[in-house]
């Protein structure tokens, strides 16, 4: 019995190494470095584009001594999601696919090698930030899609999904799961919301993500109380979801469950900008500027072609 358990654990341990380094910019050569390689390593050490995700062997103090890199890769899923719920055959095909099984295995290993309070302790490093938001939009040709998330709408308790909600609008998505994450996202989108709240092509979408079944159930019991805390004009775009995004975490840059994340989505449902934790002044300014650009482009796209 002991022998039968060791083999899978060895395999999982091998995959955990790959999972922990999935955002690495380049592999480190074992041979003697050339002058170009030395220069490259110095550049990386000064401002690496790899997110500062806390590993189990690293202390928050270690990470605090290192500068935060800017987000240098596109976030999102590679294919546009469908508004329709996956059929049984589609779900079965996904579950038995090699890619899905490998991704699930990596996610399990990653979670198993972390302590229960890992994310809590990671907040001590840069306030939970693992990267800085970019100053400009993610390029159109590189932009990826926000995944389909389903949940209950606060205004009428109807089932809704992000594909339908985001279509044809420039949206700021606030992904939150706790009181502190609400403060995180609000610090990021506050200026943009005040500026564009009345714009016909703009909306703020808040997704209260509760993957813990007990916590999700408790939150659902207090929907009426939640309505009193959220401004009435935002009820129609506030969603309570219990969907598991474990396999999409790295794709969305979700490195800490206690941190609130903010995404700017274009009218095609693609992620064009993102931020995490409390906003730095430059980040909230960048979101406001990028939102204005996307709104102008969305209006131009709606104009009839001559």
Q: State whether residue 89 is helix, strand or coil.
A: helix
Assign 201 a pLDDT band (cuts: 50, 70, 90).
Answer: very high
Q: Spell out where 91-228 has E strands.
A: 144-145, 150-153, 159-161, 170-176, 202-209
pLDDT of residue 1: 45
User: In this structure, what are the phi and psi dihedrals at residue 206, rounded to the nearest 5 degrees?
Assistant: -105, 125
Query: What residue ranges do the domains of the chain occupy?
Result: 114-302
Assign 20 a pLDDT band (cuts: 50, 70, 90).
Answer: very low
**C-alpha to C-alpha distance for 81 and 185, rounded to whole angstroms:** 24
Structural contact between residues 139 and 289, judged by C-beta atoms closer than 8 angstroms: no
pLDDT in tens, 81-130: 987 776 666 666 666 677 756 766 666 666 655 655 556 566 677 778 88
The closest of 204, 200, 190 to 239, measured between CA atoms, is 204
pLDDT of residue 300: 84
Structural contact between residues 279 and 296, judged by C-beta atoms closer than 8 angstroms: no
Query: How far is the CA of 9 from the CAs of 1, 99, 100, 105, 108, in angstroms?
Result: 13, 19, 19, 11, 11
- CA-based end-to-end distance of the chain: 73
Look up residue 246 and give its DSSP letter: G
Q: What is the mean pLDDT of residues 273-294?
A: 96
Query: How far is the CA of 181 from the CAs of 50, 107, 129, 190, 206, in angstroms?
Result: 23, 23, 12, 14, 11
- In CATH terms, 114-302 corresponds, of 3.40.50.2300, 3.30.70.270, 3.40.1190.20, 3.40.30.10, to 3.40.30.10
pLDDT in tens, 160-195: 999 999 999 999 999 998 899 999 999 999 999 999
pLDDT of residue 14: 45
pLDDT of residue 72: 85
């Amino acid at each position: 019995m002991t022998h039968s358990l060791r083999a899978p654990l060895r395999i999982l341990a091998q995959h955990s190494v790959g999972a922990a380094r999935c955002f690495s910019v380049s592999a480190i050569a074992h041979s003697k470095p050339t002058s170009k390689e030395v220069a490259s390593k110095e550049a990386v050490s000064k401002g690496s584009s790899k997110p500062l995700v806390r590993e189990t062997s690293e202390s928050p103090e270690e990470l605090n001594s290192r500068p935060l890199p800017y987000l240098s890769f596109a976030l999102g899923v590679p294919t546009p999601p469908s508004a329709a719920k996956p059929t049984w055959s589609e779900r079965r095909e996904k579950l038995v696919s090699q890619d899905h099984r490998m991704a699930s295995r990596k996610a399990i290993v990653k979670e198993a090698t972390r302590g229960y309070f890992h994310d809590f302790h990671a907040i001590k490093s840069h306030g939970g930030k693992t990267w800085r938001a970019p100053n400009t939009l993610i390029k159109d040709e590189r932009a990826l899609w926000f995944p389909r998330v389903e949940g209950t709408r606060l205004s009428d308790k109807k089932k809704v999904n992000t594909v339908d909600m985001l279509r044809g609008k420039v949206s700021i998505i606030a992904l939150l799961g706790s009181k502190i994450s609400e403060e995180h996202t609000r610090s990021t989108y506050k200026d943009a919301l005040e500026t564009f709240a009345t714009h016909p092509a703009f909306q703020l979408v808040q997704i209260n993500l509760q993957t813990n079944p007990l916590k999700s159930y408790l939150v659902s019991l207090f929907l009426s109380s939640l309505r009193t805390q959220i401004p009435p004009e935002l009820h129609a775009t506030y969603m309570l979801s219990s969907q598991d995004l474990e396999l999409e975490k790295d794709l969305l840059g979700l490195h800490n469950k206690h941190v609130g994340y903010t995404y700017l989505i274009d009218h095609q449902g693609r992620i064009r900008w993102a931020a995490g934790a409390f906003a730095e002044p430059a980040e909230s300014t960048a979101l406001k500027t990028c939102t204005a650009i996307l709104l102008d482009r969305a209006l131009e796209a709606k104009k009839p072609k001559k």
